[in-house]
């Protein structure tokens, strides 16, 4: 009753009691309350209310545990067994020595010790979830309290733990620590997670990399299982520290491959961490489409790829689809030595979307028709390429002799396309091509119709009067007459043959119709004669009325390029490109070796720099390294990019600036490992096979496995309201099925109990547009990181860092045994409970008396 005595000893209690009685008397007088049995009951009710209000409450009853102390005990596997037993006994004694003491034990989960004599909580020691333990301790105290961390201080995510401690300190919690001894195994060999690609294409050989950490040098037995079958078993000598064991594995079939590795080490203190597992999803073999003018000549390249597991189809340029749906079966498209004219803007746009949005690969292969030699400058192709269409700077370039043989027949004065006549466009194109030449170059312009005329004799161009005279002569060309192309070509060759003006001599023959003289055989004899005299011939066909096959054959025999132009407005650009090609700015002749620009690049894996054959030439271009391109192989002579690649949206674009052996790469076409190299380049360009509408991710936690599924359609729009099911087969061979609920637009998430260590095959099932979908979802459960050796000194550093945030530090349970004398208000009494009980009982009695609801007769006086 000490609390009641304290309450009635306060003057304000008596003052309120007198005021209440006066008020009661006033009400009785005003309303004529004359029935006396109700008076004492009402007085008793008022007295009870005041006593309950003024009787002090105990600190424990109010829920204020500001003096609570909570011992948080680490029971994870990183603590020595003897240390775990010792701290359990100490914690029981500590909890009995004063009130407001609690014990929280933790490992993979956290639990409380219900009473000092109760059974110790069963704790999974495979993890150290100290954050969960802090959360549970905060719930117990319900107010800022003293936390004592009895642990080795070793956690997986130190930064996350520091943030949690700082948050509690900010709320008023105090931290001290009691260091526990961590397990130290002097002879503990352990494995880290096996490193393999998560997904790849069937037929691919990949490296299974096994990191093994040995405490000392010694002999070990290593075994690798692939799909449960022994793929590798060997005894080898390990070095102290890290050993990276690499085993080649070929994905011979579609589906999921599981890999499991074990290492036996004599006298190993903890063999549980001598295992590692991985899984790889294998997709059907990729399909490659090669677009080329040389369908027959590309057969050797196709066979070389097929011998290395890459299946390739070959198509002519005019058959390259512009419909993306027709390209869906292919993962990589190879463009072999194509002119810009053969890649219409629609086709280039399709290729761009194929790479950027669908993750496909695009490979450009060089030659006399590609890059700057094929007129790629200023076209949409330019932005796709991982190289600049600019000649690298050179101190001096040799001059060239360039002869234009232009058709000025009567048909050049007629146009079916626009008001601009072909002859006007031809004049403009010729003028632009002249501007692309250098003053030291030699120029000749021969126009022909029924006869042939040298409008500009073959002479050095210069940069003054000579240049202006040449331009004026070209500007005065008029159309009219027949088409004697054979006579014109003969005249040009007869003029050039005796001239030794420059090492490079080139003729560009232009026609918009059928030649009135000369047979095809005679033209080819002329072209062969030119080639024998080191004179190259390129041809341009304008419109649909020309002998396309003849012009194409002349260019092939004459070692030049053939352009088919249906729109005359393309003429200026083509003639400029041909002028630049003839000038040789972008052709680097001569033997050059190769240097590795990116030594560890996947394309070069398994190859040494010394074994790459030399090239006899290439298209010299500039690097886009500053824009993110990777220059994988470089010219040893000049450092120009030979093989470059970059990421283009979701896909990859690769550029090989030499040819496939037609002129510059003869050594490569005879190289025994060329098929391996080309196949490796193609595989690098392949899209990530796991790029699909449903993306699946797994994350392992201390006691749970989280499955995240994100589903979006081809346009990137989230797919909602699907009934998803996750299925996997457990270690006992039993199939487990779980529904995966949706958590946000397109996102589905599931948490299940963490399976035992091992590699598992799983599936995600759902139905979309009334069609069933099944997506492989393999996953692995590694052994807990708690089983790996850790630096005990780092644990002490962590403890000092965490506790210093709140001015705490090292402590002991003996320091915490000092009794604290509780204040009077902390006495645990039940006075208030009794007062409230009487109040509840008397209230109905007062109502009954006032209304005279009594079982006996009362006579009013």
- Is the pLDDT reported for residue 337 higher than 60? yes
Q: Give the pair of three-digit tokens for residue 329.
A: 């079966």
- Is the pLDDT reported for residue 414 higher than 50? yes
Q: Give, for 231, the enclosing helix (H) or strand (E).
A: strand 229-238
Q: Give pLDDT, residue 27.
A: 60
Q: How far is it, in rounded angstroms, from Cα 527 to Cα 444?
A: 18
Higher pLDDT, 656 or 482: 656
Q: Give pLDDT, residue 317.
A: 92
Confidence tier at 387 by pLDDT (50, 70, 90):
very high
- Is the pLDDT reported for residue 148 higher than 90? yes
Q: Give pLDDT, residue 483.
A: 87
Q: Give pLDDT, residue 181.
A: 87
Confidence tier at 849 by pLDDT (50, 70, 90):
low
Give the pLDDT confidence of 278-301 residue by residue, as tens digits: 999 998 888 999 999 888 778 889
- Is the pLDDT reported for residue 515 higher than 70? yes
Q: Give pLDDT, residue 294.
A: 87
Confidence tier at 600 by pLDDT (50, 70, 90):
confident
Tokens 């630049």 belong to which residue?
580
β-bridge pairing 747-753 and 742-744: antiparallel
Q: Give the pair of three-digit tokens for residue 56.
A: 């002090």
Instruction: Count Cβ atoms below 10 Å from residue 846 Cβ, excluding itself.
Output: 16
In this structure, the chain runs to a length of 861
Q: Give pLDDT, residue 503.
A: 82
Average pLDDT over residues 691-707: 88
- Dihedral-angle region of residue 49 (phi above 0 means left; psi in -120 to 50 means alpha; beta otherwise): alpha
Give the pLDDT confidence of 149-182 residue by residue, as tens digits: 999 998 888 889 999 999 999 999 999 999 998 8
Q: Give pLDDT, residue 258.
A: 92
Q: How far is it, in rounded angstroms, from Cα 155 to Cα 798?
A: 9
Give the pLDDT confidence of 451-480 residue by residue, as tens digits: 899 988 998 888 777 788 888 888 888 888
Q: Give, for 762, the enclosing helix (H) or strand (E).
A: strand 762-768
Confidence tier at 848 by pLDDT (50, 70, 90):
low
- Is the pLDDT reported for residue 823 higher than 50? no
* Domains, the chain, ordered by start: 2-59+829-850 (no CATH), 69-184+792-817 (3.40.50.410), 190-283 (2.60.40.10), 299-389+590-685 (3.40.50.880), 400-583 (3.40.50.410), 694-781 (2.60.40.10)
- What does 645-664 look like in DSSP terms, one character per residue? EEEETTEEEEEE-S-SSSSS
Instruction: Give the residue from 613, 615, 569 showing the smallest Cα distance to 590.
Output: 615
Backbone angles phi, psi at 230, to 5 degrees: -65, 115
User: Apex CA 83: angle with CA 79 and CA 86, to 5°?
Assistant: 145
Q: Give pLDDT, residue 276.
A: 94
Least confidently predicted of 416-425, 513-522, 660-669, 748-757: 416-425
Confidence tier at 263 by pLDDT (50, 70, 90):
very high
Give the pLDDT confidence of 301-318 residue by residue, as tens digits: 999 998 888 889 999 998
First to last CA, the chain: 40
pTM metric for this prediction: 0.60
Backbone angles phi, psi at 186, to 5 degrees: -70, -30
Please, how many CA atoms are within 13 Å of residue 751, restricted to the half-sphere of its CB? 6
Please state, in angstroms and as integers, the Cα–Cα distance from residue 130 to each residue in 164, 173, 175, 177, following that order: 10, 15, 13, 13
């Amino acid at each position: 009753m000490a609390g009641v005595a304290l309450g009635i000893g306060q003057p304000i209690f008596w003052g309120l009691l007198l005021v209440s009685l006066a008020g009661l008397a006033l009400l009785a007088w005003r309303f004529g309350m004359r029935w006396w049995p109700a008076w004492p009951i009402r007085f008793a009710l008022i007295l009870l209310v005041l006593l309950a209000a003024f009787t002090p409450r105990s600190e424990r009853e109010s829920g204020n545990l500001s003096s609570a102390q909570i011992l948080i005990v680490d029971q994870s596997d990183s603590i020595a067994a003897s240390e775990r037993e010792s701290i359990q006994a100490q914690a029981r004694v500590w909890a009995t020595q004063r009130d407001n003491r609690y014990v929280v034990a933790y490992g993979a989960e956290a639990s409380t010790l219900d009473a000092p004599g109760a059974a110790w909580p069963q704790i999974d020691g495979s993890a150290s979830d100290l954050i969960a333990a802090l959360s549970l301790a905060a719930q117990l105290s319900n107010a800022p309290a003293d936390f004592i961390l009895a642990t080795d201080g070793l956690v997986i995510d130190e930064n996350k733990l520091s943030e949690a401690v700082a948050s509690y300190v900010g709320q008023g919690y105090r931290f001290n620590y009691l260091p526990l001894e961590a397990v130290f195994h002097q002879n503990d060999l352990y494995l880290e997670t096996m490193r393999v690609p998560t997904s790849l294409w069937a037929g691919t050989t990949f490296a299974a990399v096994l990191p093994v950490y040995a405490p000392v040098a010694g002999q070990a037995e290593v075994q690798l299982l692939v799909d449960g079958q022994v793929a590798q078993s060997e005894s080898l000598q390990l070095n102290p520290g890290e050993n990276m064991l690499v085993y080649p594995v070929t994905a011979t079939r579609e589906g999921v491959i599981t890999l499991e590795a074990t290492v036996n080490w004599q006298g190993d203190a903890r063999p549980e961490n001598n295992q590692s597992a991985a899984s790889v999803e294998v997709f059907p073999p990729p399909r490659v489409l090669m677009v080329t003018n040389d369908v027959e000549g590309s057969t050797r390249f196709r066979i070389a790829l097929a011998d290395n597991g890459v299946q390739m189809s070959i198509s002519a340029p005019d058959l390259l689809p512009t419909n993306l749906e027709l390209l869906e079966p292919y993962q990589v498209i190879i463009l072999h030595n194509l002119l810009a004219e053969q890649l219409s803007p629609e086709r280039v746009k399709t290729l761009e979307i194929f790479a950027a949005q669908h993750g496909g690969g695009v490979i450009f292969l060089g030659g006399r028709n590609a890059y700057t030699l094929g007129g790629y400058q200023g076209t949409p192709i330019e932005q796709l390429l991982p190289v600049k269409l600019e000649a690298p700077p050179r101190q001096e370039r040799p001059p060239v002799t360039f002869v234009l043989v232009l058709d000025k027949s009567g048909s050049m004065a007629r146009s079916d396309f626009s008001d601009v006549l072909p002859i006007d466009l031809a004049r403009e194109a010729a003028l632009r091509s002249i501007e692309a030449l250098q003053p030291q170059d030699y120029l000749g312009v021969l126009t022909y119709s029924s006869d042939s005329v040298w409008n500009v004799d073959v002479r050095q161009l210069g940069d003054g009067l000579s240049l202006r005279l040449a331009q004026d002569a070209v500007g005065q060309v008029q159309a009219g007459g027949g088409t004697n192309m054979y006579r014109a070509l003969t005249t040009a060759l007869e003029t050039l043959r005796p001239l030794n003006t420059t090492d490079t001599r080139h003729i560009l023959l232009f026609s918009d119709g059928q030649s009135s003289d000369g047979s095809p055989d005679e033209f080819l004899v002329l072209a062969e004669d030119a080639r024998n005299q080191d004179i190259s011939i390129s041809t341009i066909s304008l419109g649909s009325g020309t002998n396309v096959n003849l012009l194409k054959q002349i260019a092939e025999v004459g070692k030049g390029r053939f352009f088919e132009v249906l729109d005359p407005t393309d003429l200026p650009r083509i003639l400029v490109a041909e002028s630049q090609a003839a000038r040789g700015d972008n052709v680097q002749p001569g033997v050059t070796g190769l240097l590795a620009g990116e030594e560890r690049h996947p394309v070069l894996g398994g190859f040494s720099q010394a074994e790459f054959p030399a090239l006899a030439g290439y298209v010299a271009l500039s690097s886009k390294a500053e824009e993110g391109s990777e220059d994988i192989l470089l010219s040893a002579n000049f450092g120009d990019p030979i093989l470059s690649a970059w990421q283009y949206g979701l896909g990859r674009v690769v550029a090989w600036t030499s040819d496939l052996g037609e002129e510059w790469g003869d050594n490569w076409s005879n190289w025994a490992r060329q098929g391996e190299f080309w196949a490796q380049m193609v595989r690098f360009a392949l899209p990530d096979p796991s790029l699909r509408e449903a993306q699946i991710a797994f994350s392992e936690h201390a006691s749970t496995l989280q499955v995240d599924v994100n589903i979006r359609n081809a346009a990137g729009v989230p797919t909602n309201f699907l009934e998803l099911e996750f299925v996997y087969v457990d270690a006992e061979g039993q199939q487990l099925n779980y529904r995966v609920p949706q958590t946000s637009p397109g996102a589905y998430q599931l948490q299940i109990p963490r399976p035992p260590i091992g590699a598992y095959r799983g599936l995600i099932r759902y139905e979309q547009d009334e069609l069933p979908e099944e997506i492989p979802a393999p996953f692995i459960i590694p052994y807990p990181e708690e089983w790996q050796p850790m630096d005990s000194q780092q644990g002490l550093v962590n403890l000092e860092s965490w506790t210093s945030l709140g001015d705490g530090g090292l402590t002991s349970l003996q320091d915490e045994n000092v009794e604290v004398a509780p204040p009077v208000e902390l006495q645990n009494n039940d006075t208030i409970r009794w007062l409230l009980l009487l109040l509840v009982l008397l209230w109905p009695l007062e109502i009954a008396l006032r209304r005279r609801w009594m079982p006996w007769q009362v006579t009013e006086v």
